[in-house]
Structure 1
Amino acid sequence: MSNLIDPVAKALAVSGVLAAGSLAVAHAAPALSALNAVRPWLTPELCGYGDTDHVALTFDDGPDPASTPHFLAELDRAGVRATFFLLGRMLVRDPGLGRELVAAGHEIAVHGYQHRCLLARTPSAVRDDIARARDVIADLTGTQPAWYRPPYGVLTAGALATARELGLTPVLWSTWGRDWTATATPDSVHRTVTRRLAGGGTVLLHDTDCTAAPGSWRSALGALPRLVDTCRARGLRLGPLREHRATAVAPA
């Protein structure tokens, strides 16, 4: 019997390793969409492409009472509305600010409860994080969010399944400002955003430094008026994702 059991045990062990490896690959494969260079070709539906005369303006990581009100004031001056991807843990600290976003006409979306990379979390932890954030946002703002963007733009199979289950549409971005770095300036943010800015695109900025270099939000705030002017000079409307009609087809 031992001659038979040994090879069977070895085969089962090898198949177990292979199965575990396959599961890990399936879990992590959607994370490739976080790479700006490959996303338009691999998963264009995640780029947030929409009508070619419109640009979706989005902000991540808030709301933050130290910085978000400055963005609200600047957006109000410009007559522009945006989509704010909120962290649940930030919203529970200042639910009134979340309601203020809604009252000002901005769109609220889900960025998760904790700002942790999903690749390091189990599928059940990912589901709990997204569902908890969705529920907190709906309860505290009185608005049912429609969009989901993961921390760092890193998706997993579990995150996609959970978003589908909760009625959330995953969306990343087509251009960003790299406004989270310590060396970012209003000029660098505007230059970086507009390098790849096109009608139908989605812009990623941050209205807080809670997960970034201290004070880095000021670079995005300083770039905002110029970004609005640039879009208008190019004949592009600037607004939230709900007005964007995102599709899976990249602009020409």
Structure 2
Amino acid sequence: MPTESRKRGLTVTSATGAGVALVAAGVVAEFLPTVTAVSPVRRLCPTLAGRGDPGHVALTFDDGPHPVATPTVLRRLDELAVRATFFLLAEQVREHPRVAYETHERGHEIAVHGLRHDPPTRPWRAGADLAEAYRTIADVTGASPGWYRPPYGVLTTSRAAAARRLGLRPVLWTADGRDWVRDADGDTVARRVLSRVDGGGTILLHDSDVAAVPGSWRSALDALDAVVGHCRTQGRLVGPLRDHGLRN
């Protein structure tokens, strides 16, 4: 009898170990793609990072629409004669539908940032949440989004699969301005972007402070003249991802 008990114990232990290994493997499979959010790794995935035509620089904004920031950014872009890609959050679209609609009406490209700005803590909801975000953004703006950028740049396996089902192409960035931090201003944002951007690069800025320090979007706004001016001085066009020549 003691021998049988020990055998049962070994069986339980083995089963438990197999279960833990299975869970661990699932976690790795889900989150392994998130390493693409790290800058050095993004360089190994140029298409995902948004590297396109060397004569073009893609200008993108995340986290909108915002009732004050987005219209202000749109006016500045009009003054600069530049169009950009806006990655929208569906919950913000519901709160500010007119701003979202106007963004599309003014010739800018509409893309999907997600339902809300949350970390990937519920992978089983990824498909439903992204589908809801897509429908909301498309219905309100009248656009058919073709791009997806996950919050925080964290592209998990479940998010990637959900995007694929919706016909959304994931894209991250090659240069960001850290315009969301407390001590950011137009000069720091412009310097950071211009130290990283080159021909074919994709710039990440924000037209909202929904996931950042209140008012931080002003630093992105104040950097626009310098960023666009520098790119044009280098002989590069500045525009949305649709004109960026990304390879399939």
| Whole-angstrom CA distance in 2 between matches of 1:61 and 1:16 | 39
Q: Distance in 1 between matches of 2:24 and 2:199?
A: 41
Partners of 1:192 and 1:3 in 2: CA distance: 63
Checking the alignment, whether the CA contact within 8 Å between 1:174 and 1:201 is kept in structure 2 is yes
Corresponding residue to 1:40 among 43, 49, 52: 43
Tell me the equivalent position of 2:159: 159
Task: Give the letter aligned to residue 29 of structure 2.
Answer: A
1:114 alignment partner AA: R
Shift of 1:3: 4.5
* 2:113 equivalent in structure 1: 111
Please, what TM-score do these two structures have when normalized by structure 1? 0.94
Give the TM-score taking structure 2 as reference length: 0.96
Secondary structure in 2 matching 1:92: helix
In structure 1, the residue matched to 2:27 is 24
- For residues 215-230 of structure 1, the aligned pairs below 5 Å read 215-230=215-230
Q: 2:86 aligns with which of 84, 87, 97?
A: 84
Can you give the 5+ residue segments of structure 1 that lack an aligned partner in the other structure? none
Q: Quick check: 1:89–1:113 contact (8 Å CA) kept in 2?
A: yes
| In 2, Cα distance between equivalents of 1:225 and 1:128 | 39
The CA RMSD measured in Å over matched residues stands at 1.1
1:204-219 equivalent positions in 2, closer than 5 A: 204-219=204-219
Question: Is 2:11 the partner of 1:5?
Answer: no
Structure whose alpha-carbon radius of gyration is higher? 2
Q: How many residues align?
A: 245
Kindly provide the amino acid, as one letter, of the partner of residue 78 in structure 2.
D
Which residue matches 1:178?
178
Find the residue that maps to 1:37 and give its secondary structure: helix
1:39-65 Cα offsets, whole Å, 9 max, x none, are: 112x32211011000000000000011
Amino acid at match of 2:154: V
The amino acid that maps onto 1:25 is V
CA deviation map 1:167-200 (0-9, x unaligned):
0000000000000011001000000001111100
Q: Where does residue 235 of structure 1 map in the other structure?
A: 235
Residues in 2 aligned to 1:214 and 1:247: alpha-carbon distance in whole angstroms: 37
Give the counterpart letter for 1:55 in structure 2: V
SS at match of 1:71: helix
CA displacement at 1:36 relative to structure 2: 1.1
Letter matched to residue 186 of structure 1: G
- Retained in 2: the 8 A contact 1:48–1:247? no
Q: Secondary structure at the match of 2:32?
A: helix
Query: For residue 176 of structure 1, what is the amino acid of its counterpart?
Result: D
Query: Structure 1: how far apart are the matches of 2:244 and 2:111?
Result: 14
Q: Which residue pairs with 1:57 in the alignment?
A: 59
Name the structure 2 match of 1:246: 246
Equivalent-residue separation in structure 2 for 1:45 and 1:17 (angstroms): 35
Alignment deviations for residues 34-90 of structure 1 (CA, whole Å, 9 cap, x no partner): 11122112x322110110000000000000111101110010011100000000010
